[in-house]
Amino acid sequence: MPPDALSEKSIPTRERLITALDVDTHDEAKALVEQLGEACLFYKVGLQLFMAGNYLELVDWLRARGKKVFVDLKFYDVPETVSKAVHRMRDCGAEFATIHGNDAVMEAAGAVDRSAGGLKLLAVTVLTSLDRGDLDDLGFPEKMSIEDLVLSRARRAIAHGCDGVISSGLEAAALRKDLGDKFLVVSPGIRPLDNRTEDDQKRVMTPERALRSGADYLVVGRPIRGAADPHRAAMAIQKEIESVFAI
């Protein structure tokens, strides 16, 4: 990928890696955070931990340790309900929150004043667990590719006040070419070259390729938490990120 696709945003390099805390309990999450230490400064907390209860207490626990938090609950409901959920998240100290849905939902969420807390809204485009066959199952026309759908959703999200999108690194280059670099691209489905195990992620990319395609942040879960040495695995990814941005 061309080097000019690299993000030029003033994001500390160590914060470009977001570790997904996709575990069952607070104790498991806290143990992983403590094990990773300074190898990870940014964490994604999603539905799995939401179901463990006391979700915002875990967000507070992470922030008290100097960590940044990505609230990944993919808010999707009637516009007024999503708007109120964003209002609530605005005051919890999280950096990112995800939303899903049509134009009315994104417009309602994007209209919430988030200037005080600094919360940034990320619209989900197409989950990295989906491929063309899944789009067929969902009823999308055959002539619409995954890239077309990602671009369509991203255009609407930005127009309605979202700060960025969740997108596979596979579509990041097209997003940058079509929509520029004024919004955030957060890419899950990241798999280091030495971690190509089978799982439910179908559209994956290595850290370097995703960054060179235009991703601002990388979300990594299983390759870190499932490693024999999670700290070492996270540091290897951090070193790869640093090498990409080295001048």
Catalytic residues: 74
Q: Are 205 and 189 in contact (CB under 8 A)?
A: yes
Q: Are 96 and 71 in contact (CB under 8 A)?
A: yes
> Which residues, other chains included, contact 198 with Cβ-Cβ below 8 Å and sequence gap of 6+?
none
* Identity of the residue numbered 54: N
Nearest-Å Rg of the Cα atoms of the chain is 17
Q: Which two tokens stand for residue 81?
A: 């309900």
Dihedral of CA 110/115/116/120: which sign?
Answer: positive
